[in-house]
A and B are shown apart, each in its own frame.
Chain A
Amino acid sequence: MRERVLVAMSGGVDSSVTAALLQEQGYDVVGVTMKLHDDGSDVPDKPCCSLDATSDARRVCEQLGVPHYVLNLVDAFTRDVFDDFVSEYAAGRTPIPCVRCNTFTKFRDLVHKADAIDARWIATGHYGRLADTPHGRALLRGRDPAKDQSYFLWGMPRSVLDRLLLPVGDWTKDETRAAARRFGLRTANKPESMDICFVPHGDHARILEDALPADAPALQRGRIVTESGRVIGEHDGFARFTIGQRKGLPGGSGEPLYVTEIRPETREVIVGPRESLARDSVHAHAVNWLAPTPEAGRAVRAQVRHRSTPVPATIVHTNDGTLAVALGERVHGIAPGQSIVLYDGELVLGGGVITRAGRGSLPVLAA
């Protein structure tokens, strides 16, 4: 009896190859495309999640001779991902909807669907790898550092690892495209999307303008203030800014200015020189572990942004779903709402959503 695998297919090349590879390896493949948001007429065709993308996934499945379904997860996605995206920006933070989508929509809701069709496995086209360790299955970074997506995957329930297959995680993008050509998949040369699927052209402010009331504080004019309290200009909504941003700030003061803080209660955007962005510690909540919970004092590597270089760090505490980490070197531009992901070498230990980043060293208890 072949083992059944539910493959989440966005219509892109990575998930298309995932389905083709698993079928070639003898799995009983069932493809699904998750409809996550209504394709309004104002959303131009996106490489991911649009009706066209659904058609591509369906045609790939037809070519492979496997069934394909569209799962309508609009309500769940709106509740778990979109609404959070809006409220986080409204609170002056910088959310990563892809993390929440992976956490809730892909690796929770999808598992329920897999259960209903007796699928032993679920698979996606993410660039991550799985490995058996003495502590059970573990998530590793993707082989290709340029494509590694493990930063976005820390939030899934650990139990999912026992059912997860990520076959393209061992490859580079070029190798994936070569495989797509070998399989003759129509998606082989499809351009890649770097945008958030529901944010056309990366213009998140437009989404907020539609989703928030017109008088929402996050979109009202406010002052741009230096760290010493001098008003140097005005902005038209703090939700348009993120920590570390330079764009949209007044120039001409000689030294480049960066957003160092957002104060929702006064609608102020605080700016300062680059060295004001330096931080020594990170606090996070909504913490999830994909490995045995590490003890205080453990030396790890911490990554606070997609594609940034992980830095040496020490765990200060892990209590009640919160986390404090002392950074071994100063990191610039840590934005609340982004994820901190902790690694042991290639292995993903877990992560959390950054609540604040501090200056000065934190006392680390001996392990």
Chain B
Amino acid sequence: MSQSPVYLDHAATTPVRPEVLEAMLPWFSTRFGNPSSTHKLGREARVALDEARERVATALGAHADEICFTSGGTESDNFAVLGAWRAAHAHGRSTVLSTPIEHKAVLEACHQVVREGGRERFVPVDANGIADTEAFAALCDDTVAVASVMWVNNEIGVVQDLPALASRAKASGAVVHTDAVQAFGKLPIDLRTLPVDLLTISGHKLGSPKGIGALFIRRGVTLAPLLHGGSQDRGRRPGTENVPYAVGFAVACELAVADREREVAHLGALRDRLEARLLEAFPDAVIHGRGAMRAPHVCNVSIPGTDAETLLMALDLRGIQASGGSACQSGSVGHSHVLSALGVAPDVAAGAMRLSLGALSTEAGVDRAADVIVTLARKARGVVAV
């Protein structure tokens, strides 16, 4: 009880890194100017914003003018799907093509396309959550306005063959978007060679604050703006820019790129250690997506005979902080659309916990978490589930 908590929810959010906080602080106080103002304070803020944009672009292999700062992953995903569809719809393309395991920000944007008179198509995924490339190719026709494929899944960590899928969609003339929120900092990203037009990243998964993210918009790609107002970011995203967060976000992006290889090796080893412990104790445990390539920081495990909601509550009371699927509206666990798309049986899905690693993860923490999970899951298997 007296031990410090073990945080296993890095896929939900991460603490702000000290370097990021330090870089942001002056822009809240003494250097508080509006980048659109022409006086000294405004000019300073404008320069800081432009520099932040350049640094984020460099971290991705993009041009500065291809980076649009947003409020985060959800806005970027909505802007990408709806902005691209609305722009292309005017030219006769009416379909949005995606996968059933996208983040809700993409799925709901696809549903909005339907409400606006378009069509949505979802390519099937296999039992590991990998999109079927042939089926995807078959769905790529000249009606597709925008194709959106999540690179690293936020619930189970599986990695799609994005270059292949994106190339195929590009060949059919679609605008191609990827939600790379969980990929950034884990996979190498170079937009000079990656054939996507739009790419979403989010700050708070990388050690910058919640409320900042970016959408990469390749030169030549036109999006209908979501917001209408001033001429900030050339009218793409009106509203006074969040200078301190943009500055912090840029620092976080640079650190994520610089640390990436070491981080991947470290987190991958910890995850393998954790999974080995769980599988040793529960040979019937199901680690979702384990048969596919996965990013190193996510372990989504179902221990048959346990109920995640109850187990997560019991874990928290023992200082182990993890989540069920992803979006925990009002803090409760719902049914995961991702596991459902994988064909996971509802009773197995009800036991799914997402243990996600990151900056706060240590070998000792993972070992303690494994001990507690094993103890509580053994106990739960003796109790009748609701």
Contact = CB atoms under 8 A, between A and B. Distances in A.
A116 B332 contact: no
B384 A112 contact: yes
Interface stretch (A67-75, A212-220, A307-315): A67-75
Contact of A72 (B309, B379, B383, B384): B309
A70 B380 CA distance: 19
Contacts of B311: 116
A113 B330 CA distance: 18
Nearest to A28: B317
B379 A116 contact: yes
Contact of A69 (B313, B334, B380, B384): B313
A109 B386 contact: yes
A116 B380 contact: yes
A96 interface: no
Contacts of A18: none
B314 interface: yes
Interface string A22-45: 000000001010010000000000
B385 interface: yes
Interface in B307-339: 309-311, 313-314, 316-317, 330-334
B170 to A, nearest CB: 39
A150 interface: no
Interface size class of A (residues with CB under 8 A): 20 to 34
B313 A116 contact: yes
Contact of B383 (A32, A70, A115): A115
Nearest to B376: A116
B314 A116 contact: yes
Interface in A91-125: 109, 112-113, 115-118
Interface in B327-386: 330-334, 376, 379-380, 383-386
Contacts of A117: 310, 313-314, 317
- The majority secondary structure among interface residues of chain B is helix
A63 B202 CA distance: 32
Interface residues of B, number: 19
Given A51-B330, A116-B380, A67 B316 contact: yes
B330 A116 contact: no
Contacts of B383: 112, 115-116
Nearest to B334: A72
A113 B334 contact: no
A71 B317 CA distance: 15
A262 B213 CA distance: 62
Contacts of B333: 72
A54 B376 CA distance: 27
A70 B330 contact: yes
Contacts of A54: 330-331
Given A76-B386, A112-B385, A70 B316 contact: no
B332 A113 contact: no
Contacts of B379: 116
B331 A70 contact: yes
Contacts of A32: 313
A71 B331 CA distance: 8
B53 to A, nearest CB: 38
A200 to B, nearest CB: 19
A98 B1 CA distance: 38
A67 B318 CA distance: 11
Interface in B154-210: none
Contact of A35 (B310, B316, B330): B330
A224 B383 CA distance: 52
Contacts of A70: 330-332
Question: Which of B317, B376, B379: most chain A Cβ within 10 A?
Answer: B317
B208 to A, nearest CB: 26
Interface in B201-259: none
A76 B386 CA distance: 8
Interface of B: 309-311, 313-314, 316-317, 330-334, 376, 379-380, 383-386
11 contacts: A54-B330, A67-B316, A69-B316, A70-B330, A70-B332, A112-B383, A113-B313, A116-B310, A116-B313, A116-B379, A116-B380
Given A54-B331, A117-B317, 14 more contacts: A54-B330, A69-B313, A70-B332, A72-B309, A72-B332, A72-B334, A112-B383, A112-B384, A116-B310, A116-B313, A116-B314, A116-B376, A116-B380, A117-B313
Closest A-B pairs by Cβ, 10 of them:
A70-B332, A72-B332, A116-B310, A70-B331, A109-B386, A117-B314, A69-B313, A116-B314, A115-B383, A35-B332
